[in-house]
Structure 1
């Protein structure tokens, strides 16, 4: 539990620094105080814990200050030239293209800029909002012309801060683009994204729509192809979490990989292969904050199982949060991270209590054995959802101004089908990559689970005031 206290203090330091903006010099002056307490009262357990937490809080604040979002840029940064008219830049696509319904977002690392007839070397990321076609890929070198602007700030949302937390300070809409070269990205990542495109194309060939788009979202984290009306139904019913790659997906992947690796390589040698599989899957689906959190916890579980140790969920959650915010403290403001963290916290804190409440309620009308069986059946579909809703509901209402009245019913209906979606959908995709007729045959089984999920969501979304 010490890590839990230290992790909480670290996160509190980041949050307080974002609100109070203390001078870094003042924080450094305070740092010797907890160190002195650790040395002078090292035999006092409470004093040691208090001093260690104080030190963690100060370090968290210092980490936030070191990663503070800049507002002014030197002449070598691309953002220095925002809002200064027409520019032409040369750069490389450094992320997977984010495909939307009518456009695609390209994250371009700028290398050279031409403005007012002068060329200069620059650095920094630009978000280029390009047409859907022609298609561009990770590693493409592009010449992009257009108006370079500062991302806008709206009354209830700062798109500027949203992008800045991802290291992007410039936006270029309606560009003229020329492809200069291909293959300038990392070869390993390029190969992984090429495999992802093949898998996506395979799913499109073996399944009809909208089942193909839904499976692509659930397996590969690509949600852009899901029809807008169906996506709105998932939003109305509070079930978008089954589409977003999360702990549910990672737990299934880590379990499958652990079991398969143990059979192929033996229990002692299985761990490195299972860990590598989780890491590869995380990179494959985009490595957003929610996925990384789940992957870290999944890897800790695999390592603990290898050494025959039990994992403490709260400690693992704290470790994941500390590691992620140490790398990028701004992840604390990522909505996906907040929802993923809160949902996991709710499962850990409230699931046992809710299970006991259900058992006591059912024990009044049923035998203890029957009550336990029913609670076991309700566990994944209802109890886990209810526990997660307790901690995620405030975040959902705050960010999305939305409250679904049918979310418990919809989750009760669709969650039991999701392991079938993952297992049969994954098997059909792998089989389709090897031999398409086999993929289609297995795909029909996945189609049943996917169609049931879609129909259940559509029916409950049609309930008045859902």
Structure 2
């Protein structure tokens, strides 16, 4: 008979808080509720929690209910547009070109397709030119300049172009481009013609740390471009710096069909390798142990800035920071609590991150690994005891991580991307160890490119061999019959059933082993 596990709130209080906040954000997204109602409910539920604090369950339920209401209130307040937001007046300026003054908030991406050049970045609006002069405005716009423009993060500039709503590129409303931009606080696009007016007024007006991290990133981009071919550099930029736009579409499609496209996005896997290599390097220096941990935390945060601060990167950086901080203060941390803390911080940064596919996949995969890996290793311990073959145990461990992560994200991948990849389990077994070595060599290449450029070719030569081997493995894996299954659409109800069974498997545990042995004897 299955036994329900111990309530999580006893030693994982942040898990309940993060789930309650998420529920509040979800309710706000799909239900229209007057702002005053959740505010009053929050006060009432906090009062009831205080009154019933001697009775554990009622107090916890009331408190979690209060956090649900807080999630609703916070989301409403976060999404509220000020009176001078540019979106309020944009409809009056769509027919004619408009001049906008603002600051560059992101790294400028320069792309080229079929001899058409484009520079793209996010701008924070400061002023808008009206028939009555310049007026102060707020908000964000996505800027497309249809030429390669000399633009950098932190530049204050004036642009002239056409202001319009974004177009919907995908017929699938599950992956809406408009929704994606709105989650980033962008409702409008400013398109600047090849001959349009672009004027930089002042430079270096952004955050110092972010500006420094982007300069380092550009230096690394140049090293990769100098040392590798265009396609190889594109793959390494994805693995090390989080930029996927230089990967050929055909190669990205192979990774998607083989179920290993996740390695092309910076995540906890990449952060763990980077943090580990940084710590190993710092151990070689005469630095106190706590200083090594603090420096590792600082460099991981800098790396997160450098790779664009995506939800998966922020989640991994927060978890790494909390884990390493535990060593600094000499206290053990709880993994699920760390995961919930990371989720809470990301949702406070932007509640709309809850509906970001990357956020959902990132947290579900890590949750699945945390929850299922120990159980899968129990099976491994039964078949391959610890004193037996280390190689066989390593294979089992890799298989357990891959299997747990696959179970966690398969439902969402089928729902959003209309694909199931049975081959992914086995492809990951080969590709992930390769990526670990490639990442380490890539960091070595970047370091040598800075301190000793003449020696960088040795790392580049090894990377070329391993990248081609990895792509070859991915290519061969998708040739196997049944490697992947494509379908036109996936309704929500099968995904609900899938995750219902998944969470039953997670939260209902086996009886003690001695009881299992008695059951086997009786049978």
TM-score for the superposition, normalised by structure 2: 0.82
Partner of 1:396: 413
Greater Cα shift, 240-249 or 141-150: 141-150
Q: 2:105 aligns with which of 91, 94, 117?
A: 94
What is the CA RMSD across the aligned residues, in angstroms?
2.4
Q: How does 1:297-316 map to 2 (within 5 A)?
A: 297-316=319-338
Measure how far apart 1:307 and its partner are.
Answer: 3.0
Measure how far apart 1:220 and its partner are.
Answer: 1.0
Question: Quick check: 1:424 aligned with 2:441?
Answer: yes
Partner of 1:85: 95
Measure how far apart 1:331 and its partner are.
Answer: 0.9
Q: 1:224 aligns with which of 228, 232, 245?
A: 245
Q: How does 1:57-456 map to 2 (within 5 A)?
A: 57-68=68-79, 74=83, 77=86, 80-82=89-91, 84-86=94-96, 87-102=98-113, 103-115=118-130, 118-131=133-146, 133-153=148-168, 155-157=171-173, 158-175=176-193, 176-181=196-201, 183-186=203-206, 187-264=208-285, 265-360=287-382, 363=383, 369-370=387-388, 374-380=392-398, 382-456=399-473
Greater Cα shift, 166-175 or 193-202: 166-175
Cα gap change, 1:438 to 1:321, in 2 (>3 Å): same
Cα gap change, 1:38 to 1:17, in 2 (>3 Å): same
SS in 2 for 1:31: helix
2:239–2:266 Cα contact (<8 Å) kept: yes
Greater Cα shift, 419-428 or 173-182: 173-182
Measure how far apart 1:285 and its partner are.
Answer: 0.8
Task: Give distance in 2, aligned partners of 1:143 and 1:257.
Answer: 41
Measure how far apart 1:135 and its partner are.
Answer: 4.3
Cα deviation code 1:296-334 (max 9, x no counterpart): 000011011223333221111111111111221111111
Cα gap change, 1:134 to 1:2, in 2 (>3 Å): closer
Measure how far apart 1:241 and its partner are.
Answer: 1.2
Cα gap change, 1:165 to 1:10, in 2 (>3 Å): same
SS in 2 for 1:214: helix
Cα gap change, 1:446 to 1:132, in 2 (>3 Å): farther
Task: Give distance in 2, aligned partners of 1:306 and 1:93.
Answer: 37
Measure how far apart 1:19 and its partner are.
Answer: 2.1
Cα gap change, 1:185 to 1:388, in 2 (>3 Å): same
Measure how far apart 1:404 and its partner are.
Answer: 2.1
Task: Give distance in 2, aligned partners of 1:272 and 1:26.
Answer: 44
Measure how far apart 1:85 and its partner are.
Answer: 1.5
Cα gap change, 1:368 to 1:193, in 2 (>3 Å): closer
Measure how far apart 1:376 and its partner are.
Answer: 2.7
Cα deviation code 1:44-71 (max 9, x no counterpart): 222322222122222112112212365x
2:290–2:327 Cα contact (<8 Å) kept: no
TM-score for the superposition, normalised by structure 1: 0.91
Measure how far apart 1:76 and its partner are.
Answer: 5.2
Task: Give distance in 1, aligned partners of 2:190 and 2:85.
Answer: 18
Cα deviation code 1:173-204 (max 9, x no counterpart): 35324233452432443232122111111111
Cα deviation code 1:333-375 (max 9, x no counterpart): 1111111101101101111222333554xx3xx7785477523
SS in 2 for 1:317: helix
Q: Which runs of 5+ in 1 are unaligned?
A: none
Cα deviation code 1:408-432 (max 9, x no counterpart): 2221221111221111110111101
